[in-house]
Amino acid sequence: MPICWLVSEDDCHKPIQLHHQQSLILGRGPETRIKDQKCSRNQVELKADCNRGFISVKQLGTNPTNVDSVVVGKGNQVPLKPGQKLYMVNQLYPYTVRFTEDTSTWGSAGERSKPTKRPHQRDSHGHKEENESPASKMSTPSYTEPESNGASVAEKAAPGKAEPAGHWSQGLKVSMQDPKMQVYKDEKVVVIKDKYPKARHHWLVLPWDSISSLKVLKREHCELLKHMHKVGDKMIQQCSDAQKLRFRLGYHAIPSMSHIHLHVISQDFDSPCLKNKKHWNSFTTDYFVDSQDIIAMLERDGKVSVKEGTGELLKLPLRCHVCHKEQPTIPKLKDHLKIHLPS
């Protein structure tokens, strides 16, 4: 089967590999190096058909994405074929699509990609994880993610093959298929443990169905989300600390990882992997939306809407989620949280 590559015409970064019939969401961020605020972090959803030789482009962002001179339009989908140009936003940041027969080459002339350096590891929200300490390695199974829209690389590239840039967002899809990573599964969902848990207990519930993000959910997904919530409750019930600790089940309003995932997380936040303000605010502000609220919104409106400015919540001051007392630093916050831990 041919290999599909998305190639920056501005040569801003190495080609991004698109896997056959797997959705990839791109926009403003490190994988594209686009910093333009008019480009959403989730600007486009791309899906390659390697057999038929084209990419489906769906515009998710508010500002226009173009294929050649045609505006895609928010929520609309158009094909991108070799020879055409994709403009990420406002006729800027051009890309082309190319299909090759080998993962070690790309481009019509068969130009060989140079091996890339191994990316930084990232957690399930796309935040970089550096200098992982031994204390952060839990005894129960965890997931490992290739880099692109939110996680980490655990496997080294095969000898003689370049490691394509820009696919850590697909990491959850890799991990959920690995029996070693699975702590529960049924015909609808699989549960894996967060590789960088932000609390004593932190699982991710993922559907087998390919659903890239909250934005693509429709009313008919309500039953699936209810089942995901039910499975999350099961994980809590089998937990030895279930009677001592409080738990929340919810979704990040603007996740970095492609493939929808429900967080099941204890509220002690007692973990060496909780390192910065973004980690904290992503779980203790309205950036983290309760599972039941997402289901209710979907039942009521037939879609999930994210409030404008939600991303700014990650910059809020550090406040204790129990007593709401502001703390100056993460170490001070962690010391403070000890007074709220169960005895």
Q: Is 201 an active-site residue?
A: no
The answer to whether the CB of 32 falls within 8 A of the CB of 95 is no
Among residues 167, 259, 261, 263, the one annotated as catalytic is: 261
Q: Nearest-CA neighbor of 289 among 231, 238, 213, 234?
A: 213
**DSSP line for 29-66:** BTTTTB--TTS-TT-EEEEEETTTTEEEEEE-SSSPPE
SS3 category, 230 = helix
**Which residues have CB under 8 Å from 205's CB, separation 6+?**
189, 190, 191, 228, 231, 232, 235, 261, 262, 264
The pair of structure tokens assigned to 93 is: 């940041």
The 10 Å Cβ neighbour count of residue 272 is: 15
SS3 category, 127 = coil
Place of tokens 């880099």: 147
Rounded Cα distance, 65 and 196, in Å: 34
In order of 43, 61, 100, the CA distances from 2 in angstroms are: 26, 29, 5
Rounded Cα distance, 240 and 91, in Å: 55
Rounded Cα distance, 41 and 256, in Å: 8
Q: Nearest-CA neighbor of 264 among 316, 313, 311, 202?
A: 202
Rounded Cα distance, 210 and 192, in Å: 16
Vertex 18 angle, CA 37 and 32, to 5°: 25
Catalytic residue ranges: 261
